[in-house]
Structure 1
Amino acid sequence: MALITKTDLYFTDYSWSAIEPDDPRVTGEPDSTLLNRKEGYEILYFINKLSDIWSLKNKSSATKIERMIRFEVPSNIHSQLTIRIWIHDNWNESRY
């Protein structure tokens, strides 16, 4: 079950382009697929997937992931997997 929905996202400036249900950007495990930080469906999937993988139960943790992606993950990191690793490695140092 998803931890957050579209209405729970902290930021409201996402694009909500239609994405096929089996698109690798919104299915499976975070991998080498690039994460579009401005596409709402991708961000929502990614946050919920990490919340599931890491057994996060609070919406505040999901918001932390969203804010880290927006403000802290270096712009030269693009794949879902490398962003996941960066967030994991920097979780305790985050200002959020």
Structure 2
Amino acid sequence: CLQPSMARQWGHLDPHDFTQMQCVRAFVAHQPDELSLEKAEVILVHQQSSDGWVEGTRLSDRHRGWTPESHLETIASLRVRQRNLLDTVTTNKDIIKMG
């Protein structure tokens, strides 16, 4: 489980709050509201449209945008989702310390 201070940094995030998806095929954004993804990158999903697009925030840098659902796969494992969030918070803390 995330420590309370880590959850606050993300604004009360429980791994159950958001679906996470992993990129299985790279996508290059063509519009300003789209999100480019490399294979294996993970996003927190905010919404899914009926026309096959997913809006999400890339965990590695917190950029937000739309990506085709056909390039993504849902991460079902709670343990993996928890680890993804914990790794992201830890990485961001390390970057802040270096800066």
TM-score normalized by structure 1? 0.31
Higher helix share: 1
Higher relative contact order (CA 8 A, sep 6+): 1
Q: Between Structure 1 and Structure 2, whose CA radius of gyration is higher?
A: 2
